[in-house]
Amino acid sequence: MLKRINEWWMEIYHQLSLRNIVWVSFSATAALATIFMGLSFYSRFSMQLNNEMQMENQALINQVNNAVNTYVRNMMKLSDTLYFKVIKDQDIQLVDFDETFRLFYETNKDYIKNIALFSEEGDPIVLAPAASLKEGIHPAEQKWFKRALEKSENMHFSTLHIQNLFNENEGEYEWVISLSRAVQMTYGSEVKQGVLLIDMAYDGIKQLFSNISLGQEGYVYMMDQTGAIIYHPKQQLLASGIYKENTQAAMHYNDGIYNEVFEGKQRQVIIKTVGYTGWTIEGVIFPNAVSLNNKKSNIFFIFLFLFFTMGLVLINSIISTKVSKPIRNLEKAVKEVEMGKLDTCIKAEGFYEVHHLGQSVHKMAEQIKKLMEDIVKEHESKRKSELDALQSQINPHFLYNTLDIIVWMIENERQQDAAKVVTALARFFRISLSKGKHIISIADEIEHVRNYLTIQQLRYKNKFEYDIEITEEAKSFATIKLIIQPLVENAIYHGMVYMDGDGLIRVQAYVEESEVYITVSDNGLGMTKERINQLLKGEIQSSKRGSGIGVSNVNERIKLYFGEAYGIQIESEPDEGTKMIVHLPKVIYEKEEKGV
């Protein structure tokens, strides 16, 4: 296993550049140091931040507690004002309290829903803003009423409930917390007990808890001393039983911070008691909420880490580039030399070893260049010798056949035709010699063929006709001399001599796009694909009329001079005639002549 890991690592190592190795080594070392220092710093900072978050959450709970205390005291002050300044020492039978109660209600209607004064039997004395009680409702049977009379010296806060005593808003029920107290009322010379009721609006309490957040999932709720929920952000879910709250556990804790597991979740609870009422405010915080609350801090640390890391990477990149640049330049130069660019500038730079290596590579490239020049010269000389050897094969070949024609004419006492042949032969050799040059214009090559066909037509009278077409554009381009005559010769000897009927040979020269084409077509006997291949390879044995090497000779000379992309293509079918296509590059003759 270790051996495989080592082999794998060595394979990767050998594929890495020097710059990458230096960069990775420096960056890895710097990254490890940065991570170690960052984790240490983050751990201490996170602990401190968690403590600060805990203090902040406690401050929020205290803030809510103070707001609730203030709200409750205001309600108690309102109750005291109504009792001591309005009700007490006033004869109920002589004073009308309706307007006074209504004025108190209008002044505090944002925080209270109802104000009412009842006799000891539960009969309404003053109602604001309602005008009457609902039928079948007996205040004396209400819990808040009974508690007020049982402990007349205290004010009593009920649990959260729906107040359904009054007729003012028919069909509409309000959630309230009832503040009740026993009061003494004067009836002439008698003093009787009664109950003063102030319904505190649930919306007023709810507003105190709005916009209080203890992290992503944290929340604040309030309950009374019996464990009944007074406010909860999920009040409706609690009422429907969908959501549960751990009110029983909270009742057993004093003010402070506690950890607990409820419904399978770890959470932290902050408890604060509201003075006089016995209510408690509970703040619930989840561990993941603390980390979410630290999101900005985490982003800051990540940004700081990335910034520091990028700085180190940048410094390492500069150092590794400085060290590896001379080597990369040398590598690039060596690759160009490897691709054959021997004139590439090879700079000897960098530290001593690279500088010395650069000088050695430069000297090596110079020696390779010199050797390549010698090889090119040798190759050119060999190429010229090959061209001369191939050209020398054509001249005897044609001369042999032409002399054969002249002898035959003289033997048959056709002196005038023999004279024409000799004249055409002279013109033929004037063009073919071309002052020892291998390249002539296509116009001269076609004229050369025309002389040859004149000779052959006299030899084989009434055997074939010929047609020569050359475009004006094609005349000015260059070609190797004596490449069309062997093809025409092949058309005559192998296509028409033994055919029945009149033969036709057509020679065409034209230009297509950037290429030059010369075609030799005949309506002779044609040939098979196998014979075509043999003809191009020079495998056909010589006939008594020719050497049999003309076509392959032409094909080899074209490829040798112009390249493998050019040469001869043969299209033929038995009894369908033959078409030989010579493919040449588009080269202006005058320019080629100067360089030959």
Other CB atoms within a 10 A radius of the CB of residue 300 amount to 12
The whole-angstrom separation of Cα 249 and Cα 253 is 7
Kindly state the greatest CA–CA separation across the chain.
183
- Which residue shows structure tokens 């050119």? 380
Which domains are assigned to the chain? 88-205 (3.30.450.20), 213-293 (3.30.450.20), 376-595 (3.30.565.10)
**Residue type (1 letter), 104:** F
Strands 503-512 and 464-470: parallel
Closest CA to 472 of 445, 505, 511: 511
Closest CA to 114 of 202, 33, 11: 202
Q: What angle do CA 191, 193, 197 make, to 5 degrees?
A: 135
**DSSP category for residue 87:** I
The whole-angstrom separation of Cα 191 and Cα 553 is 148
Q: Which residues pair with 127 in a beta bridge?
A: 116
Q: Can you list the alpha helix ranges (DSSP code H) found in 478-528?
A: 485-495
Closest CA to 551 of 565, 533, 563: 533
The whole-angstrom separation of Cα 562 and Cα 347 is 38
The whole-angstrom separation of Cα 165 and Cα 140 is 11
**Residue type (1 letter), 228:** A
Asked whether the beta carbons of 220 and 232 are under 8 A apart, the reply is: no
Structure tokens, 412: 């048959």
Q: Which residues pair with 126 in a beta bridge?
A: 117
Asked whether the beta carbons of 580 and 551 are under 8 A apart, the reply is: yes
Closest CA to 330 of 304, 356, 300: 356
Asked whether the beta carbons of 363 and 371 are under 8 A apart, the reply is: no
**Residue type (1 letter), 121:** E
Task: State residue 157 phi and psi, 5-degree precision.
Answer: -110, 125
Which SS3 state, helix, strand or coil, does residue 120 take?
coil
Asked whether the beta carbons of 282 and 255 are under 8 A apart, the reply is: no
The whole-angstrom separation of Cα 558 and Cα 201 is 110
The whole-angstrom separation of Cα 176 and Cα 105 is 15
Q: Which helix (H) or strand (E) holds 196?
A: strand 190-201
List, as one string, the DSSP characters of 224-235.
-TTS-EEE-TTH
The residues, any chain, with a CB within 8 Å of residue 417's CB and separated by 6 or more, are: 409, 458
The whole-angstrom separation of Cα 212 and Cα 61 is 9
Structure tokens, 509: 């020269």
- Which residue shows structure tokens 């203090």? 55
Closest CA to 63 of 214, 218, 176: 214
The whole-angstrom separation of Cα 386 and Cα 546 is 22
Asked whether the beta carbons of 516 and 584 are under 8 A apart, the reply is: yes
Each of the 596 residues of the chain gets a pLDDT tens digit; together they read 666 776 665 666 555 566 666 667 767 777 777 777 777 766 776 677 677 777 888 888 888 899 899 999 999 999 999 999 888 888 888 888 888 889 999 999 888 989 999 999 999 999 888 778 888 888 998 888 999 999 888 899 988 888 888 876 555 678 889 999 999 998 888 889 999 999 998 888 888 888 787 777 788 999 888 888 888 888 888 878 888 888 877 777 888 888 888 888 888 888 988 888 888 999 888 876 555 445 666 677 677 777 777 777 777 777 777 666 777 777 777 777 777 766 777 766 666 666 677 777 777 777 777 777 777 677 666 666 656 655 555 556 567 767 877 887 788 877 787 887 788 777 776 665 655 567 888 998 898 888 888 877 777 776 788 899 999 999 989 998 888 888 888 888 777 766 766 789 999 999 998 899 999 999 888 888 988 888 888 776 545 454 445 788 888 888 888 888 999 999 998 888 899 999 999 988 874 444 43
Q: What pLDDT is recorded for position 179?
A: 93
Q: What pLDDT is recorded for position 594?
A: 43
The whole-angstrom separation of Cα 87 and Cα 97 is 8
Asked whether the beta carbons of 177 and 200 are under 8 A apart, the reply is: yes
The whole-angstrom separation of Cα 400 and Cα 209 is 122
Closest CA to 474 of 585, 336, 344: 585
Q: Which helix (H) or strand (E) holds 341?
A: none
The residues, any chain, with a CB within 8 Å of residue 303's CB and separated by 6 or more, are: none
Q: What angle do CA 542, 543, 544 make, to 5 degrees?
A: 125
Q: How far apart are the first and last CA of the chain?
A: 69
The whole-angstrom separation of Cα 322 and Cα 351 is 10
- Burial state string for 443-456 with b = 16 or more CB within 10 A and e = fewer than 16: bbbbbbbbbbbbbb
Which SS3 state, helix, strand or coil, does residue 175 take?
strand
